[in-house]
Amino acid sequence: IVPLAVSVNRFEVPQAAPVAVFKLSQDFSNDQFPQKVNLGVGAYRTDEGQPWVLPVVKKVEKIIVHDDRLNHEYLPILGLPEFRSSASKIALGDDSPAIQEDRVGAVQCLGGTGALKMGAEFLRRFYNGNNNTKTPVYVSAPTWENHNAVFANAGFDDVRPYKYWDAENRGLDLAGFLGDLESCPEHSIFVLHACAHNPTGTDPTQEQWMQIADIMMRRKLFVFFDSAYQGFASGSLEKDAWAVRYFVSMGFEMFCAQSFSKNFGLYNERVGNLTIVAQDADNLKRILSQMEKIVRTTWSNPPSQGARIVAITLNSPELFSEWKDNVKTMADRVLLMRAQLKAKLQALGTPGTWDHITEQIGMFSFTGLNSKQVEYMVKEKHIYLMASGRINMCGLTTKNIDYVAESIHETVTMVQ
């Protein structure tokens, strides 16, 4: 008997490095120390350290379950129309001139990451010439680690940092930021954090945003906002959207990637939206026609559950009001933890200045701890945080904040 020849496909696949935040969570889970604290988690937690399903989300889920008109048919390629329009409205404002002029459109995406991906794929194909992989894409130094990967994966060869964080003064390096805007090639793409900058928690003031916008307009730079924390940062939808709305008022054509993971607590539903502000209605129509082609070959059409929850909430005055209260509950807890951590460090006489803890905004704080101090916190105190010194303020609770403050004090005092 002659054996049949067997063709075997062999994949020469190197082992990928683990994603930092997930490795941190795994290390935390394996730690048996009773006072261990996880400040690396990328999601909201209650004062009991638990995930929080927003009460308004529970209410809307029940509405959906009992609505016999709903089914599981495919959504349109660009997504649920009432979700797309209402999501863009909270970003730009009901009275946005761009919306009134019919030059705003949107693509429902798989979370904020999906919105960035769709925008990046479109820009690589059609911005600054066709299939221009050489257009520089600028991301802040530091930034959310996925920004670099998303644009590189979309085919951009030149992803660069722009100056943002002033480590010595623990704040915004405005001069460096503006300098990079002035010196970069015209038509470069800049990824801007709309509010609650990740990972530093440091945002430009309104006056500084005006300076940034003036240079970007003069130098013909493309604005791509990443808005992952609207309402969650300050507790106010309007305040957190100020920069986005100002740039629109200045006449920019731009993209804004929106995520509803944080402000709705819908982390695993992957609810995102790419808001497109075009030059005119005709240009918008052509952009959306190309977006349809990109979506069709990526996820074909998006899921409905999360989008329905958001759309029903935003389009009901009563539910919308309740949602804003829920969001403010989360924002207020973060602000309280910031104030208490700063006060406890100051009361302990911890070396250095800690004003940046309350000057920063949003879920994350750049503590200023260096790599040796972070290592000491993890190994000796069993407090888990990112290697950059970034902590999630939601990881702090009334039960662990004293231990965390005392540990930071010990670390800063003993480790240089």
Active site residue ranges: 144, 226, 262
Q: Quote the CA–CA distance of 142 and 158 in Å, as a whole number.
A: 17
Strand order in the sheet with 104-110: 104-110, 271-277, 254-259, 222-227, 189-193, 137-141, 159-163
Q: Quote the CA–CA distance of 405 and 341 in Å, as a whole number.
A: 6
Residue appearing with tokens 């379950």: 65
Q: Residue 326: CA atoms inside 13 Å, Cβ hemisphere, count? A: 20
Best CA proximity match to 186, nearest among 223, 220, 138, 224: 220
Count of CB atoms within 10 A of residue 368's CB? 17
Q: Quote the CA–CA distance of 260 and 47 in Å, as a whole number.
A: 22
Best CA proximity match to 253, nearest among 273, 277, 274: 277
Element (H, E) at 371: helix 371-381
Q: Which amino acid is at 416?
A: Q
Residue 312: CB partners within 8 Å, gap ≥ 6? 60, 63, 64, 319
Q: Quote the CA–CA distance of 329 and 57 in Å, as a whole number.
A: 14
